[in-house]
Amino acid sequence: MSRERLLGVWRRVISLAWPVMAEQTFRTAMRTTDIIVTAQFSPAAVVAIGLADLYARFPLRIGLGLGGGAIALSSQDTGAAADANRDEAVTQALLMGLLAGVPFVFVGLFLGEPIIALLGADADTAALGGTYLAIVFATAPARHVALIGARSLQGTGDTRTPMYVNVLANALNIAGSFVLGLGLLGAPRLDIVGVGVATAAANVLTAALLLAAMATSWADASLVRPRDTVIARQLLRVSTPRVLEGFSATIAEFPFNALLLGFGTEVNAGFQIGRRMYQQVTGPLSRGYNVAASVVVGQSLGDGDADGARYNGYAVAGLGLATVGVIGVLLVAFAPAFVSVFTDDAGTVPHAVAFARVYGATAAFLVAFTVLSGALQGASETRVPLVGRLVGTFGFLLGTTYLVGEVLGFGARGAYLAVALQYVCMAAIVLWGFRYTNWASRAAEMMAERGSAEGGDEADGAGEGDPAGGPGGS
């Protein structure tokens, strides 16, 4: 019976996760295409888009953070059959994301070039990067809506609609980068502007299609008039740690890359290649398991099954170890062959192989962190993953690299150790949090507060935003 139960959870997880994996694969292919196309313009264009993407991660982190709150409440309310509360949460999250994207529009328009130059870019690179950033940031509100909308639908168990929309948008983005960037099929050659326009258009298309799905009968979640302040506060409580976690990971990139460059350009290049290899082969799987864990845990809690939620979290983690963990072992064994696809530079290859092997050896820890973070997110507990990220990133990644690599003089070997310790630490903290903290009680209290527990839509009047009835219908 236990074996049948485990296999049943795995089958459900795979059915939820594979569309996310497919979607993520196309997104990765789109980013790779942008680099390939800009490489045809000039080295400065490649550097410009790379530097601009560092800043583009900030709206990404906000969208993912608010999306984390949306998937938590959406999955719980779906499990509780509290459709009106679910629709209220989805609509409020989308509105928050739309408003949070507006400041980036003005940053791109008026500060794009200066903030690229702030990273040490020369005048030509800063001008190119500023232009690209202005175009992409102009659609930051749409990017937020797309990210939040996708996760809102995923929380209902619908992972296919976001896949259909994102695969279509990313495919058009890839085509647009080639056509507008290189001037194919009679189109004008717009260079980096064309690549930016293709990305911006894809952001708008994705947001529009997801909103259309929710505004019609295509999707289970619907758009309503937002008015419940309890749900608004809960969204912020769940989302804020997720946003801070994402910001901390992005901010840490700057000093860590500076430390690596201090050890030598080849060390930094090796790190970029080793990490890219790992992300390419495991990123889609990990993202899929993260989303699936949020859904199965959140819906079980919404159904009042805390024990089932705990079992489901461990089951998804086991599936991650059995797949991503095995891929990590293969990466350790075949790292030299994989690296040879990216570079044959004699100075870079040893470091790339070393970093690839570190990522492979710690793949089990990283996927455990990713999955259990998703499980805790489904329970509205995003503080524990934030602590894990902060301690792992600033305490071990940066601290160990500086102490062992810089102070003690071990150079790149300090960075190898730091990357490994970072993921071991992060996995240990979220495992402790999943096992010992009262996340099930926290989720139950929040559902009761917003009127989603034990009674579905009949209980929706508990929110203070609508004392006379539910927060809104479909």
Q: Check whether residue 317 and residue 343 sit in a common domain.
A: yes
> Among 64-73, 91-100, 269-278, 294-303, which is the least confidently predicted range?
269-278
Of 227, 258, 287, the residue that ends a domain is: 227
- As a whole number, mean pLDDT of residues 309-317 equals 97
Average pLDDT over the chain, rounded to an integer: 92
Whether 365 shows a pLDDT value over 50: the answer reads yes
Question: Nearest 5°: phi and psi at 473?
Answer: -105, -175
User: By the 8 A CB rule, do 84 and 466 touch?
Assistant: no
- pLDDT number for residue 455: 45
Beta-carbon contacts of residue 65 (< 8 Å; ≥ 6 apart): 239, 240, 242, 243, 244, 245, 246
Q: Check whether residue 54 and residue 189 sit in a common domain.
A: yes
- Which residue's entry shows tokens 């901010």? 251
- As a whole number, mean pLDDT of residues 371-386 equals 97
Q: Distances in Å between the alpha carbon of 127 and those of 54, 56, 59, 174, 200?
A: 16, 16, 21, 24, 18
97 CA to centre of own chain: 15
3-state helix, strand, coil in the chain (%, to 5): 85, 0, 15
Domain annotation covers residue 279: yes
Confidence grade of residue 407 (pLDDT, cut at 50, 70, 90)? very high
Whether 460 shows a pLDDT value over 60: the answer reads no
HSE (side-chain half, CA atoms, 13 Å) at 99:
7
Domain annotation covers residue 114: yes
- pLDDT number for residue 254: 86
Q: Check whether residue 187 and residue 280 sit in a common domain.
A: no
- pLDDT number for residue 273: 85
- Which residue's entry shows tokens 């159904």? 303
- Distance, CA of 181 to CA of 177 (rounded, Å): 5
For residue 30, the SS3 value is helix
> Among 93-102, 156-165, 268-277, which is the least confidently predicted range?
268-277
Whether 166 shows a pLDDT value over 90: the answer reads yes
- Distance, CA of 10 to CA of 223 (rounded, Å): 32
- pLDDT number for residue 467: 30
Whether 459 shows a pLDDT value over 60: the answer reads no
Which DSSP state fits 26? H
Q: Check whether residue 275 and residue 159 sit in a common domain.
A: no
**What are 197-207's pLDDT values in tens digits?**
999 999 999 99
What is the CB neighbour count within 10 angstroms for residue 255? 14
Whether 470 shows a pLDDT value over 60: the answer reads no
- Distance, CA of 343 to CA of 367 (rounded, Å): 27
Q: Distances in Å between the alpha carbon of 85 and those of 81, 459, 461, 470?
A: 9, 9, 9, 7
Q: Check whether residue 189 and residue 269 sit in a common domain.
A: no
- As a whole number, mean pLDDT of residues 397-426 equals 97
Q: Check whether residue 73 and residue 142 sit in a common domain.
A: yes
Whether 18 shows a pLDDT value over 80: the answer reads yes
Q: Indicate the number of domains in the chain.
A: 2
Domain annotation covers residue 134: yes
Of 227, 252, 272, the residue that ends a domain is: 227
**The two three-digit tokens of residue 61, written as one number:** 């982190």
Confidence grade of residue 138 (pLDDT, cut at 50, 70, 90)? very high
- pLDDT number for residue 432: 98
Of 196, 227, 258, the residue that ends a domain is: 227
Q: Which residues of 435-447 are buried (b: 16+ CB within 10 A; e: fewer)?
A: eeeebbebbbebb
* Between 462 and 357, residue with greater pLDDT: 357
Domain annotation covers residue 127: yes
Domain annotation covers residue 470: no
Q: Give me the domain span that covers residue 306.
A: 241-464
Q: Check whether residue 141 and residue 277 sit in a common domain.
A: no
- pLDDT number for residue 458: 37
**What are 326-354's pLDDT values in tens digits?**
999 999 999 999 888 777 888 889 999 99
- Which residue's entry shows tokens 């911006």? 200
Domain annotation covers residue 10: no
Q: Check whether residue 453 and residue 421 sit in a common domain.
A: yes
**The two three-digit tokens of residue 379, written as one number:** 């329970």
Domain annotation covers residue 185: yes
What is the CB neighbour count within 10 angstroms for residue 409? 9
Q: Check whether residue 260 and residue 374 sit in a common domain.
A: yes
Domain annotation covers residue 3: no
**Alpha-helical segments (H) within 343-380:** 349-361, 363-378
Q: Check whether residue 398 and residue 315 sit in a common domain.
A: yes
Count of residues for the chain? 474
- pLDDT number for residue 261: 87
**The two three-digit tokens of residue 157, written as one number:** 């168990």
- As a whole number, mean pLDDT of residues 55-82 equals 96
- Distance, CA of 260 to CA of 402 (rounded, Å): 10
> Among 6-10, 272-276, 289-293, 464-468, which is the least confidently predicted range?
464-468
> Among 50-54, 173-177, 317-321, which is the least confidently predicted range?
50-54
- Distance, CA of 428 to CA of 388 (rounded, Å): 8
Q: Check whether residue 282 and residue 320 sit in a common domain.
A: yes
Whether 468 shows a pLDDT value over 60: the answer reads no
Whether 454 shows a pLDDT value over 60: the answer reads no
Q: Check whether residue 193 and residue 264 sit in a common domain.
A: no
